[in-house]
A and B are shown apart, each in its own frame.
Chain A
């Protein structure tokens, strides 16, 4: 079923969606850190991060109730671990001369894509797999999981900075693929293999 997600919606009661409120507080703290980093470093990248985290924080407390979601706490845990996985990437080491510039460019492009995807999702936004309606507007018209696509692009910058991050990057992609498959099942969307024969759903 196609639903048009709205930007401004009713704030959910804490008891109705406690996980949304907890996630919202976490994203708001991330937004404050991003704002501080923007102020101290002057790097506009942190401004982009600030907008992304504020948007996610808002949508998590105003999101639509889920019609169906995963009951297994393990899957929820994997989703949140996947979200925090980028923190364990190794520091720059044995990087190419232009690696810093390329990784910064990839980070900006990747975060821009994922931030646009957050706005496209709107009140359908969530971290763990849940059915809040299928979104097919904006970037979701072209890519089924643009948020994960943006993360993969931005995280490749870490590989350029340190070749040993390649293994972590592959693990991160595997986690995103796993989340994608679960979300496709919850949203009752065909898997990639079955959809390759027909480019459009």
Chain B
């Protein structure tokens, strides 16, 4: 197992290098020019061109792209991801202060989504073709069909504007604070992200459990005299949740995409908001840093999925 993990991590380092090349090149291929973005139109008059050249040289953008990459990589290997063109602060620090809020949002949403989807999926599978089942199906479809930004706007309209019970933006009330205040800010964006995520989860839990309930070992458990609850929870559910590990671990990076939109709507000071603004400002180092963060998240989630799989299913052994 340990040997397997080490080998996988080494393989992932190679993948990571390839991804970094791709991202580095793609970001620079995107239309637009970061230097022009920085320049005050006033300065463009007269000596503008010279100023731009000077700035470009200062940022190293006039050098061949592989030289730029080599420079960036040698820095990255020492933990230096460069400086934000906009904030003039280290990319690591800029990203670092955004990771916490996003993890908080995603973590809360994931926890709620898992609890709700397992409960709802089990209810739908056990009461197949009843109102519960159809209700779960409709909710699941709604979760994948309705765009999160729409849910966000409706949520703000209903709960913030009309009812006035929940805040509409930010992580805390400016100047205020406290745990309750933070939680109140988390409710709307967290629940919307949870709803969007729980939709597909519920379908997987239901489908998996329906399959397992038809398995012969379930009949064996019944023939042993196990109660219906025991048959479902102790026997069938455990087997049906194994494939869900893959689904969840695949979904976590996807959730980040959902978080980008939600953070934008709710002015949540997380990575998503940072990514959107950096792209708008052609802030190359930050964009590259963000993209690599996502890449690491995907690679780590895949690895965790494999390890968890082996831990839960005795038939799988990692060598």
**Real complex partners, A and B?**
no
